[in-house]
Amino acid sequence: MIIVPEREIADLMTREAAFEAVERVFAAMAAGEAYNFPVVREAIGHEDALYGFKGGFDRSGLTLGLKAGGYWPHNLAKRGVINHQSTVVLFDADTGRVHAMVGGNLLTALRTAAASAVSIRYLAREDARVLGMIGAGHQAAFQLRAALEQRRFEKVIGWNLNPEMLPNLEKVAEEAGVPFEAVELGGMREADVIISITSSFEAILGADQVSPGTHVACMGTDTKGKQEVAPGLLARAVVFTDEVAQSVSIGEAQHAVAMGLIGEGDVQQLGAVINGAHPGRRSAEEITLFDGTGVGLQDLAVASRVVELAQEAGRAVMVDF
């Protein structure tokens, strides 16, 4: 068995490699070559932890496995370790034998950022110049870094519930040489691309706070009850997602579907655009919205890639198992 410890991931995995892995697996999902297994998520009644598994199989790449982990809210305060914890285990699809164990914490951030970046590559207008960020927590910095590589952005605007967190975004924008400006939510009308990445349970962004032609990537809603944008925005937009079943049940589309504003059939797979089966954006006025719910196959795709990179770099730990 190959082990790639968490501490190795930062040196091995690049944003570009994560982008390619996620792009490829979204395409495989839309082609019916890869599928996610039902997600298990449990409050375990210990340390207030939420623990679960996300698994799947990609027949095209023969990637089989799962990500196990979750959220331990007291980790940082009590033990000095981060609250989100996950590990990916990959299996040999031919034999079922365990193939690799890979640290999943940084990979989760990279694959989530890669998902919105893929959506921007395929759905944002080519002339998008203003990038709007809603949320300024741990994931937001990764999202911003990956998004800035997709278009020739000239300005980043940001909003956060607690404005004192906005320097997290400003730092990333400045590193990329792009000016940053804090705005009220109404200021998001200036944005050509908006990414939301918060833990909110109620709509933050109103349907009228988005201009025609904008691409919106909703990345924070990955659980029943969470919500980042007004359901009316989904009714105004052409809606894409990683996986339709998750989008309408635990993703941003859950609310618009429950209210009858859109139906499951109105939500398209982003992979269909990658494959050329869906045209994607049809006009410069259309609002496109990507509902990034986070699927197990994304984790397996980046973990599988990092195992290859570790082997190439001679940094994979081999264990007899």
Q: In whole angstroms, what is the distance from residue 64 CA to residue 227 CA?
A: 31
Which of 2/30 has CB closer to ligand NAD? 30
Strand partners, 66: 55, 89
Q: Is 198 in the site for ligand NAD (CB under 6 A)?
A: yes
| Interaction of residue 8 with ligand NAD, rule CB under 6 A | no
Biggest CA pair distance of the chain:
58
67 as an active site residue: the answer is yes
Interaction between residue 158 and ligand NAD (CB under 6 A): no
Residues 18-57 that bind ligand NAD (CB under 6 A): none
Cβ atoms of 120 and 151 closer than 8 Å: yes
Instruction: Pick the binder of ligand NAD from 191, 292, 297, 300 (CB under 6 A).
Output: 292
Nearest-approach distance from CB 199 to ligand NAD, in angstroms? 4
Q: Provide DSSP, 198-232.
A: ---EEEEE-GGGS-TT-EEEE-S--STT-EEE-HH
Window contacting ligand NAD (CB under 6 A); options: 35-43, 177-185, 196-204, 309-317: 196-204
Tell me the residue nearest to ligand NAD as measured from the CB.
137
The reply to whether 74 sits near ligand NAD by the rule CB under 6 A is no
Cα–Cα distance for residue pair 306/316, rounded to 1 Å = 9
Binding of ligand NAD by 206 (CB under 6 A) = no
Q: Which of 54, 67, 155, 224 is catalytic?
A: 67
Verify binding: residue 160, ligand NAD, rule CB under 6 A.
yes
d(CA 196, CA 246): 18
Range in contact with ligand NAD (rule: CB under 6 A) among 28-36, 260-268, 270-278, 290-298? 290-298
Residue 260: which residues within 8 A CB-CB, separation 6 or more?
none
Q: For 165, which DSSP code?
A: G
Interaction of residue 112 with ligand NAD, rule CB under 6 A: yes
CB of 141 to ligand NAD, least distance (A): 8
**Site string (211-230) toward ligand NAD, x via CB under 6 A:** --------xx-x--------
**How many residues lie near ligand NAD (CB under 6 A)?**
23
Stretch that binds ligand NAD, among 17-25, 183-191, 229-237, 292-300 (CB under 6 A): 292-300
Taking each continuous run of H as one helix and of E as one strand, the counts in the chain are: 11, 18
Task: Write a three-state SS string for 49-113.
Answer: CEEEEEEEEECCCCEEEEEEEEECCCHHHHHCCCCEEEEEEEEECCCCCEEEEEECHHHHHHHHH
Of 2 and 257, CB closest to ligand NAD: 257
Can you read off the two tokens belonging to residue 57?
């199989």
d(CA 145, CA 113): 8
Q: Which two tokens stand for residue 10?
A: 């930062």
Determine, following the binding rule CB under 6 A, whether residue 138 of this chain makes contact with ligand NAD: yes
Is position 171 an interface residue for ligand NAD (rule: CB under 6 A)? no
**Shortest distance (Å) from residue 208 CB to ligand NAD:** 18
Residue 204 binds ligand NAD, judged by CB under 6 A: yes
Of 49-57, 154-162, 262-270, 309-317: span binding ligand NAD (CB under 6 A): 154-162
Residue 140 contacts ligand NAD per CB under 6 A:
yes
Query: Are the CB atoms for 1 and 99 separated by under 8 Å?
Result: yes
Residue type at position 101? M
Inter-axis angle of helices 138-148 and 167-175, to 10 degrees?
Answer: 30
List residues near ligand NAD by CB under 6 A.
108, 112, 135-140, 160-162, 165, 197-200, 204, 219-220, 222, 292-294
Active site residues: 67
